[in-house]
């Protein structure tokens, strides 16, 4: 008997929990700031309409189609949709991508837990006089803390603190604890508590930040900086790739995670409206909340120019350096710091369970392992492999690049092609609309059949000719260890798919 979501609201919150993650609060504002400010939103909105919404419905429909037939992951589902011997191996990407991503995502998630604890227990550096020191010196103790916490010192082997390693173990155990309780008993229950709290925390922080005003500037300056379009940037292909990449990442598309969650729907459960609702929650958490916290806070406190520098130095600096540095200097700062990191932790936790579930579902569905065994086995292997990004320089970037950026787009292309070309476009469209509280607007039929695949093909092509060669020339020994590990994971998954397929026949 396959598990099912207990209620529609629980399903929508779980799907929103899947989508709303560190990407909304850290990745989105830094990407927007680095890619033309307000002008970033033009390719962003276009990608949303032409790739993301169609793909979201495709993933929900593929997942429900497979789930009804007893399969929650793409090796088996692609085989149902397309009777071709390679279909199941193309589906391996739907296990490879989420598994590789969770191996580093869960570690970053554990930092947010560590920082939440430090914020409330007073373990973060305390206030200094910004006017006297200037921004770089003022930020230095916070930067040093992040360096000693993660032990990330550039090249070779990292030396994480005992605290970081302990928090990593605790985070893994917490994920096990939730996943072992299953879909409705674990993931859905978590989402029903964590998601409302996440939104409340984010709104409190947004209000606090938007009323910040210092001699250096105000939050409004930050919003202005973030939303003023730099029109000359629109013709830069880099911005288009970044916007499409952000849309994928933030909505969890091309990761296999949505498909697996959707496989726990009933045959005639609505997906058109539920999918839109969950995606809207994610977009609200991104464009409204995500944009109104970190960057405006930095602009109010350090001035717009310094905020720009901070944003271009990356998402980690924004979250773990400049925000705690700001909270150190406002009344009840430890509480705000705690809210900020707890918010990030909830965002991370509801996403990490979602990216772990595909491999678990694969073991349950295709090898008939019990839930408990599947969870323990998956998490055991995950825990071991996660040591590579924890300890090896540039492994995290490699894994993020290959699995989380490149394969995601390729996998998305494969999904639409299998559903709307290899399967049957008419039936695919019916699958999407069956049981819908509303129907998908007809215009999406030609979009899904023609525009989305072409758009994805162009993006893939761009990556292959432009970005891939640059990336391949970066080659430290640690990067090669990471690449070797990725190949090992891909090979092991192919082997498992082969074995399960033989067993079935
Ligand atoms: N969407 C999540 C975020 O914004 C990341 C994620 C990707 C989670 C894929 C699950 C699956 O952070
Ligand atoms: Na997101």
Q: Is 38 in a helix, a strand, or coil?
A: helix
Q: Of 109, 351, 412, which is best to mutate to test ligand 1, by the most ligand atoms within 8 angstroms of its C-beta?
A: 351
Q: What is the pLDDT of residues 127-183, one digit of tens each?
A: 888 888 988 899 999 999 999 999 998 889 999 999 999 999 999 999 999 999 999
Residue 131, pLDDT score: 84
Q: In the structure, what pLDDT confidence band is assigned to residue 473 with cuts at 50, 70 and 90?
A: confident
Tell how far the Cα of 110 is from the centroid of ligand 1, in angstroms. 15
Taking CA atoms only, the protein residue closest to ligand 1 atom 6 is 252
List CB-based neighbours of ion ligand 2 within 5 Å.
Answer: 19, 21, 23-24, 250, 282
Mean pLDDT, the chain, integer: 95
Tell how far the Cα of 62 is from the centroid of ligand 1, in angstroms. 19
Tell how far the Cα of 351 is from the centroid of ligand 1, in angstroms. 6
Gap between the Cα atoms of 48 and 98, Å rounded = 21
DSSP state of 213: E
What CATH number did the domain enclosing 196 receive? Answer: 1.20.1740
Which ligand 1 atom sits nearest the alpha carbon of residue 28? Answer: 4
* 61 found inside a domain: yes
Tell how far the Cα of 284 is from the centroid of ligand 2, in angstroms. 10
Q: Of 98, 252, 316, which is best to mutate to test ligand 1, by the most ligand atoms within 8 angstroms of its C-beta?
A: 252
Which ligand 1 atom sits nearest the alpha carbon of residue 348? Answer: 12
Tell how far the Cα of 112 is from the centroid of ligand 1, in angstroms. 16
Query: What residue numbers bound the domain in which 78 lies?
Result: 8-504
Q: Of 103, 354, 357, which is best to mutate to test ligand 1, by the most ligand atoms within 8 angstroms of its C-beta?
A: 354
Tell how far the Cα of 377 is from the centroid of ligand 1, in angstroms. 22
Percent of the chain with pLDDT over 70: 100
* 107 found inside a domain: yes
* 2 found inside a domain: no
Tell how far the Cα of 22 is from the centroid of ligand 2, in angstroms. 7
Q: Of 21, 93, 106, 290, which is best to mutate to test ligand 1, by the most ligand atoms within 8 angstroms of its C-beta?
A: 21
The DSSP code sequence of 280-323 is: HHHHIIIIIIGGGTHHHHHHHHH-HHHHHHHHHT-HHHIIIIIH
Q: In the structure, what pLDDT confidence band is assigned to residue 37 with cuts at 50, 70 and 90?
A: confident
* Cα–chain center distance at 129: 37
* 343 found inside a domain: yes
- The packing angle between helices 93-121 and 135-150, to 10°, is 120
Gap between the Cα atoms of 411 and 351, Å rounded = 19
* 353 found inside a domain: yes
ipTM above 0.90, yes or no: yes
Tell how far the Cα of 499 is from the centroid of ligand 1, in angstroms. 30
Q: What is the pLDDT of residues 434-443, one digit of tens each?
A: 999 999 999 9
* 3 found inside a domain: no
How many domains would you assign to the chain?
Answer: 1
Q: What is the pLDDT of residues 256-303, one digit of tens each?
A: 999 999 999 999 999 999 999 999 999 999 999 999 999 999 999 999
- The tokens describing 199, both together, are 């939104």
Which ligand 1 atom sits nearest the alpha carbon of residue 22? Answer: 12
Number of the ligand closest to the Cα of 21: 1
Gap between the Cα atoms of 149 and 422, Å rounded = 50
Q: Cβ–Cβ contacts within 10 Å for residue 89, how many?
A: 17
| Greatest pairwise CA separation for the chain in angstroms | 74
Residue 467, pLDDT score: 86
**Which residues surround ligand 1 with Cβ inside 6 Å?**
18-19, 21-24, 249-250, 252, 255, 257, 351, 354-355
* 1 found inside a domain: no
* 434 found inside a domain: yes
Q: What is the pLDDT of residues 406-450, one digit of tens each?
A: 999 999 999 999 999 999 999 999 999 999 999 999 999 999 999
């Amino acid at each position: 008997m396959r598990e099912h979501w207990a209620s529609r609201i629980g399903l929508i919150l779980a799907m929103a929990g899947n989508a709303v993650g560190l990407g909304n609060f850290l990745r989105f504002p830094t990407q927007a700031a680095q890619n033309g400010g307000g002008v970033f939103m033009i390719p962003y909105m276009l990608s949303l309409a032409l790739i993301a919404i169609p793909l979201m419905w495709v993933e929900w429909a593929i997942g429900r189609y497979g789930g009804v037939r007893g399969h929650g992951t793409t090796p088996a589902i692609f085989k149902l949709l397309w009777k071709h011997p390679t279909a199941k191996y193309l589906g391996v990407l739907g296990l490879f991508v989420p598994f590789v991503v969770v191996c580093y995502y869960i570690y970053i998630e554990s930092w947010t837990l560590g920082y939440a604890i430090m914020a409330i227990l007073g373990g973060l550096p305390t206030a200094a006089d910004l006017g006297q020191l200037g921004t770089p010196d003022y930020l230095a103790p916070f930067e040093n803390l992040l360096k000693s916490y993660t032990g990330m010192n550039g090249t070779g082997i990292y030396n994480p603190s005992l605290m970081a390693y302990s928090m990593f173990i605790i985070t893994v155990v917490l994920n096990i604890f939730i996943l072992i309780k299953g879909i409705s008993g674990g993931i859905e229950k978590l989402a029903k508590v964590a998601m409302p709290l996440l939104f409340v925390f984010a709104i409190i922080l947004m209000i606090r930040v938007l009323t910040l005003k210092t001699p250096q500037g105000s939050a409004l300056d930050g919003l202005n900086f973030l939303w003023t379009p730099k029109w000359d940037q629109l013709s830069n292909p880099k911005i288009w790739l970044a916007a499409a990449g952000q849309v994928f990442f933030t909505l969890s598309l091309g990761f296999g995670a949505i498909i697996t969650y959707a496989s726990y729907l009933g045959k005639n459960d609505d997906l058109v409206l539920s999918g839109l609702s969950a995606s809207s929650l994610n977009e609200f958490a991104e464009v409204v909340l995500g944009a109104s916290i970190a960057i405006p806070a930095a602009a109010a406190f350090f001035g717009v120019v310094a905020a720009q520098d901070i944003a271009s130095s990356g998402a980690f600096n924004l979250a773990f350096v400049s925000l705690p540095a700001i909270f150190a200097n406002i009344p009840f700062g430890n509480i705000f710091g705690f809210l900020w990191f707890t918010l990030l932790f909830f965002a991370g936790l509801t996403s990490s369970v979602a990216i772990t579930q595909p491999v678990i579902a694969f073991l349950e569905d295709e090898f008939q392992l019990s839930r408990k065994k599947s969870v323990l086995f998956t998490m055991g292997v995950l825990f071991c492999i996660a040591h590579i990004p924890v300890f090896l320089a540039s492994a995290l970037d490699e894994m993020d690049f290959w699995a989380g950026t490149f394969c995601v787009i390729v996998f998305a292309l494969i999904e639409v092609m299998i559903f709307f070309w290899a399967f049957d476009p008419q039936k695919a469209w019916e699958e999407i609309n069956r049981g819908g509280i509303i129907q998908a607007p007809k215009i999406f039929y030609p979009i899904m059949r023609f525009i989305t695949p072409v758009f994805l093909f162009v993006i893939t092509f761009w990556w292959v000719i432009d970005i891939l060669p640059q990336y391949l020339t970066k080659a430290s020994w640690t990067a090669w260890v990471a690449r070797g590990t990725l190949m090992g994971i891909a090979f092991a998954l192919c082997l498992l798919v082969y074995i399960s397929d033989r067993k079935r026949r």
